[in-house]
A and B are shown apart, each in its own frame.
Chain A
Amino acid sequence: MTNSSSQASTHALSTRRIGLAIVILLILIFSLAPILWQLLTSFKTTADIAAIPNVYFPKQLTIEHYTEIFRRQPFLRYMFNSGFVAITSTLLCLLIGTPAAYALARLKLPGEQIVLAATLIVTLFPYILLFLGLLELVRTFGLANHYLALIVPYTAMNVPLTILVMRSFFQQLPRDLEDSAKVDGYSTVQMLLQILMPLTLPALVTTGILTFIAAWNEFLFALTFITRESMKTIPVAVAQLSGTAVFEIPYGALAAATVIGTLPLVLLLLIFQQRIVQGLTAGAVKG
């Protein structure tokens, strides 16, 4: 790992450096190239998009595809739907998952191991196994084309992650603080809200971002439980955009829609990279 004896190493070190640089470059290309290509496509003129061979350096850039998706589709509405569903379910998820995580971390309940194990296992099951039963529930309760049809499953699918991440944060908190609060006379709920909540705010933000991403990105339930145009979320709306032009697939608009739909997530990632990594590893490895 560290530098060995200094004499012979200069040469070896520089080849190593170059090798490392090349590999890093490859990683960057691997991660970025598809996104950049889509970004470029979204700004190319329709003629350039359909040009053969491909145009890598367009002479002319345009924003017509962006204006088009907002003009032809209720794209703002999709954005609002996605945002509303994702934010609401994130808040609900924190509201429901955090107390549960605390109970599992501290309150020595009988059977908590079973709850914990079940929570863990549940994260492994793909949504396709749930959707038949949920479809029936949605029909029974008349929740079709209703935000709740998405909010409830999104909240539920993120609760296990919230429990795992928050539980590991709670366990890291010094116990004395809670004991002190109890001696001061805080009830369990007061303690959660007034003492622990402020302390776990960073953890809540971390978890919240992860759940937001998951909810924003969800496809299967959004595809199944929403059929009204005005209620669709971004992933479904964009995926269904692909066949709706008259004669051919509107690649430019599709690219623009993809860019817009991913933009919030890219921003989140740029701002909260550290936290996302933390949460991911806490959610997966600690469990």
Chain B
Amino acid sequence: MSKTLRDQERQTGWWLLAPAVILLLLVYAYPIGRSFWLSLFTQNLGTELQPVFTGLNNYGRMAIDGRFWQSIGNTTLFTAISVLLELLLGLGTALVLNQSFRGRGAVRTIALLPWALPTALIATTWTWIFNDQFGVWNDLLMRAGLIKTGINWLGDPHWALWTVIAADVWKTTPFIAILLLAGLQAIPNDLYEAHTLDGASPWQNFYRITLPLLMPQILIATLFRFAQAFGIFDLIQVMTGGGPGGATETVSIYIYATIMRYLDFGYGAALVVVTFLILSLAVAIAAFWLSKLRPAGDWR
């Protein structure tokens, strides 16, 4: 018992932290590290699922894999468009919910609803709404006279990705709206009052006060959504499975197919590694921006 009190406290601390750290290492660090290792092997049906060391062969194969590049393209498009739309709609929703009106709490609850529901179930709902024959969306458009015959939203390669984006926007806009709403509510009203006394219009208020002060929240929300959208799986898996003809195949769907359908573990691991690196790079850039922005956000 010659340990100092500080040592004891530290030790207690480690014991408190240990289960969480072990769990995170097991479920996060190990799989990703393992993927790095496995990506150097060929382990697929051709090798009867035995690992054979082939160095960077998998990465070379990836370079000429047209489907991989298409999936990267799809993922990028999906991520960019859906996050952008979600930001705009989310900001709009947040601004509206930040006004005081009767029943605001109820509206806020309802606006949050899409976020809380299971994506896989919601995907079936949207599949049904966008059904080419019985879908209500086609019906509404036809009643409005905008189209003459029903569009096969999910079956037509030209429409499928946009349809999936629409569903994703619906599902995750509330998340952004809530984050931004919290940011809006933290901006003290006196700032607006002072600025208004200075003669600023509402638009100037928004542009010169709301937007800069909200920037940290916007960036964080974007970062979160970017990462989630880049890894989108359940929505697309249920709505289109990546089809038609790979039109909605994102990296996640491709990775899943490579591993679970083709049993091409080595190549799947290489895909995981590359996706991980791309995401890490993007996160690092975003974090760098964020850290530069932080001083501006420190007014609280």
Contact = CB atoms under 8 A, between A and B. Distances in A.
Direct touching of A and B (C-beta under 8 Å): yes
Interface of A: 1-2, 4, 20, 23-24, 27-28, 30-32, 34-35, 37-38, 41, 49-54, 96-97, 99-100, 102-104, 107-110, 115, 118-119, 121-137, 152-153, 155-157, 159-160, 163, 187-189, 192, 213, 216-217, 219-220, 223-224, 234-236, 238-239, 241-242, 251, 254-255, 257-258, 261-262, 265-266, 268-270, 273, 276-277, 280-281, 284-285, 287
Interface of B: 9-10, 12-14, 16-17, 19-21, 23-24, 26-28, 30-35, 38, 92-93, 96-97, 99, 101, 105, 107-114, 116-129, 133-134, 136, 139, 142-143, 170, 174-175, 178-179, 181-183, 189, 192-193, 196, 202, 205, 216-217, 220-221, 223-224, 227-228, 230-234, 237-238, 251-252, 255-256, 259-260, 265, 268-269, 272, 275-276, 279, 283
A4 B268 CA distance: 62
Contact of B16 (A49, A100, A129): A100
A128 to B, nearest CB: 4
B118 A135 contact: no
Contacts of B93: 27
B75 to A, nearest CB: 11
Pick from B110, B143, B256 the residue with the most CB of A within 10 Å: B110
Across the A-B interface, the 8 shortest Cβ-Cβ residue pairs: A126-B231, A133-B31, A156-B27, A100-B20, A235-B120, A107-B13, A219-B234, A99-B16
Contacts of B220: 284-285, 287
B234 A31 contact: no
Contacts of B13: 103, 107-109, 188
Given A1-B193, A119-B24, A277 B139 contact: no
A23 B129 CA distance: 23
Contact of A134 (B27, B105, B109, B275): B27
Nearest to A236: B120
